[in-house]
Structure 1
Amino acid sequence: MKMIPLGRSGLTVSELCLGTMTWGSQNTEAEGHVQADLALDRGITFWDTAEMYPVNPVRAETVGVSEEIVGSWIKARGGRDRLVIATKITGTGQHVRPGQPITGTSLREAAEASLRRLNTDYIDLYQLHWPNRGSYHFRQNWSYAPTGIDRTAETAAMTDILTAAQSLIAEGKIRAIGLSNETVWGTARWLHLADTLGLPRMVSAQNEYSLLCRQFDTDHAELSLIEDLPLLAYSTLAAGLLSGKYAGDVTPSDSRRARVPDLGGRITPQVFPAVAACLAVAADHGLDPVQMAIAFCRTRPFTTIPIIGATRLADLATCIGAAGLNLSPEVLDDLNEVYRLHPRPF
């Protein structure tokens, strides 16, 4: 497993990141531990979770359970220093501090609660799950209207959060801070405040990215490259669509779609032709479609670390098999042609 620097954080991480969002809902604690064992055995030392996990669906009674399962694995196996652990503070809503924005105070409270659940003294990467003002992610782009945003108030709130992060870093409770589901303006503003005020710099951006969702490829890509801000790409298989298991508009009984029928807005009339085109490229070149989709993310001109996850151990092993896979120029040409024909299927 290739190891790469996480931007300017000083952290070194595996080229793939293990996602844990199904641990506690679609996966039991024991299954989560087995997945963790496999990932570590294959060299994946970078793990991602969040205080609101598990999902599918998010429920008040399961908030924090994924972190607890990571924590029970650490307690049982030891060796915390083998891992780089990322987690997140939840934004407004989603059963965690409902209606309350992220503040310096809530950042500290949430981080300390995550530390307890994770059975650790420090969090390597602490991320803001989404911005207080909202964003265009999670299919909100179709009705996105950035109105009523007070620049002065946003700047004050960001400064408050970065100041709290600075204290947590000084205390050794977190090592670095990052973003998730942010916009280009928001990301640039966080970086500007850090640089001008001497506050902690955001070191990464965790946004959705896949062959079917390439919003990051323009302005965000430029910012990522110039500012050395790696993309932690989630939903690299578009919630399983790129595996082909939903091809023909079917719903396997044990799948995520059985729990979330529209896959978070990804099921549209346009998506299945796009999926079929991607599957055809994999077949034409003798590639596993899952591994092709994950490996594609690592080909981008900006640093991309795909987050992988699965409910079945065999499927996780297939995902891990994407490590080190190099796609030929012919494969990339074919995938770019698919993108031109199916630019935004959901």
Structure 2
Amino acid sequence: MKYTTLPNTDIKVSKLCLGTMTWGEQNTEAQGHSQMDFAVDKGINFFDTAEMYPIPANKATSGFTESFIGNWFKKTGKRNEIVLATKIVGPAKNTTHIRTGGYSKTELEDALHKSLNRLQTDYIDLYQLHWPERSTNYFGRRGYVHDPGDQWEDNFMEVLEVLQGLIRQGKIRHIGVSNETPYGLMRFLEISRKYGLPKMITIQNPYSLLNRLFEVGLAEISHRENVGLLPYSPLGFGVLSGKYLGGKRPENGRVTLYPNYSRYIGATASQATQAYFDLAQKHGLSLTQMALSFVSSQEFVCSTIIGATNLDQLAENIDSINVSLSSEVIKDINAIQELVPNPAP
């Protein structure tokens, strides 16, 4: 395993982070525990979860993933060996069963305390805002389209003040954002710098061969402001394993089970995936490991979030850390990106 540090801290984290969003939906608790055992044995010390997991969001299973992790901590006694990240949900139609008040003081405190209870821990290493409260361009849209009905009022400072209080109480060590835009990230950074409030040290956004939109505006912010990307969906719901090529729908595959998760299998995305598959074959690589190695090699990436539904997939994902892409492979990847840019926003 390779390691780095969370930006602006001395906290060592593995360059691969274990994602957990399938636990409680596609995976049982026992399978989740097996994945944690396997990942730790391979050198991973960084887990990412969220109060709304598993995905798809479901009132009947909400919070299961955190509970599975908490039970593993209790069973193994390894809480202090793990850098733990979780998230509070933002306002959305499919999460009203969890909370409806956005990032108010009441909601932030309630969310954190419930997560601490489920995770059976006294503190969270990295606490993240799962998506912006305001209307913005995430999931399926490349650009911002203003919503005249958006009722959001600027509250960046208030949110940071509440998080500062939770940090002072020792319940949170550091904070980050997720599914955020350049505007939102820079506002948080501007206010934290001006008023001496906690800094957002990470941003968790999608980034893969099929979606390199992070490079458009956020990559420069990441470099200049020292905010690390924690890329999620680096394999596009498993599409960049190649298993859906040719219209295949393997049993128990995420896209097979949840066909509404279709942004990675549209005609253009499938065209790009085929091109990347052919490129990997040309260079004697697996598409999975080429895709993950490309993501992990980016300078702005802190730790790549990998997810799997079985140990064979997890093993291949983890082994990608030992794959280095030649300049020729990178050149060929960029040529495909020029022909089929960001087909799965």
Specify the TM-score bucket, using the shorter chain as the normaliser: over 0.9
Structure-1 separation of matches of 2:107 and 2:262: 27
**Residue 52 of structure 1 aligns with which residue?**
52
**Residue 309 of structure 1 aligns with which residue?**
307
Letter aligned with residue 136 of structure 2: S
Structure-2 separation of matches of 1:136 and 1:225: 22
- CA displacement 1:96-139 (0-9 Å, x = unmatched): 44542221221111011100000111100000000100321111
Letter aligned with residue 301 of structure 1: E
Matches within 5 A, 1:257-276: 257-276=255-274
Structure-2 separation of matches of 1:229 and 1:146: 28
Residue pair 2:4, 2:302 contacting (<8 A) in 1 also: no
Residue pair 1:135, 1:181 contacting (<8 A) in 2 also: no
**Residue 126 of structure 1 aligns with which residue?**
127
**Residue 33 of structure 1 aligns with which residue?**
33
Q: CA deviation at 1:79?
A: 2.0
Letter aligned with residue 17 of structure 2: C
- Change in Cα spacing, 1:143 to 1:160, as seen in structure 2 (3 Å) is closer
Letter aligned with residue 328 of structure 1: S
Structure-2 separation of matches of 1:10 and 1:114: 24
Q: CA deviation at 1:281?
A: 1.1
Q: CA deviation at 1:140?
A: 3.5
**Residue 80 of structure 2 aligns with which residue?**
81
Letter aligned with residue 67 of structure 1: E
Q: Does 1:24 align with 2:30?
A: no
Structure 1 residue runs of 5 or longer lacking an equivalent are none
Equivalent position to 1:250, from 248, 251, 256: 248
**Residue 282 of structure 2 aligns with which residue?**
284
Structure-2 separation of matches of 1:257 and 1:268: 12
Matches within 5 A, 1:229-248: 229-248=227-246
Q: CA deviation at 1:263?
A: 2.2
Give the alignment's Cα RMSD to 1 decimal.
1.6
Letter aligned with residue 40 of structure 1: V
Letter aligned with residue 50 of structure 1: A
Structure-2 separation of matches of 1:18 and 1:301: 20
Matches within 5 A, 1:156-305: 157-305=155-303
Partner secondary structure for residue 213 of structure 1: coil
Q: CA deviation at 1:287?
A: 0.8
- Change in Cα spacing, 1:217 to 1:36, as seen in structure 2 (3 Å) is same
Partner secondary structure for residue 127 of structure 1: strand
Structure-2 separation of matches of 1:147 and 1:222: 29
Partner secondary structure for residue 281 of structure 2: helix
TM-score, with normalisation over the residues of structure 1?
0.95
Matches within 5 A, 1:92-107: 92-93=91-92, 94-95=94-95, 96-107=97-108
Q: CA deviation at 1:142?
A: 6.3
Structure-1 separation of matches of 2:139 and 2:246: 24
Structure-2 separation of matches of 1:192 and 1:143: 21
- Change in Cα spacing, 1:62 to 1:320, as seen in structure 2 (3 Å) is same
Matches within 5 A, 1:115-154: 115-141=116-142, 144-145=145-146, 147=148, 153-154=153-154
**Residue 91 of structure 1 aligns with which residue?**
90
Partner secondary structure for residue 321 of structure 1: helix
Q: CA deviation at 1:146?
A: 5.3
**Residue 8 of structure 1 aligns with which residue?**
8
Partner secondary structure for residue 114 of structure 1: helix
Residue pair 1:233, 1:306 contacting (<8 A) in 2 also: yes
Size of the alignment, in residue pairs? 342
- CA displacement 1:201-249 (0-9 Å, x = unmatched): 0010000000000010121100000000010000000111110000011
Structure 2 residue runs of 5 or longer lacking an equivalent are none
TM-score, with normalisation over the residues of structure 2?
0.95
Residue pair 1:205, 1:229 contacting (<8 A) in 2 also: yes
Partner secondary structure for residue 312 of structure 2: helix
Between 1:294-303 and 1:311-320, the stretch displaced more is 294-303
Structure-1 separation of matches of 2:325 and 2:274: 19
Between 1:110-119 and 1:137-146, the stretch displaced more is 137-146
Structure-1 separation of matches of 2:144 and 2:231: 23
Residue pair 1:247, 1:276 contacting (<8 A) in 2 also: yes
> What's the % identity of the aligned pairs?
44
Residue pair 1:297, 1:305 contacting (<8 A) in 2 also: no
Partner secondary structure for residue 60 of structure 1: coil
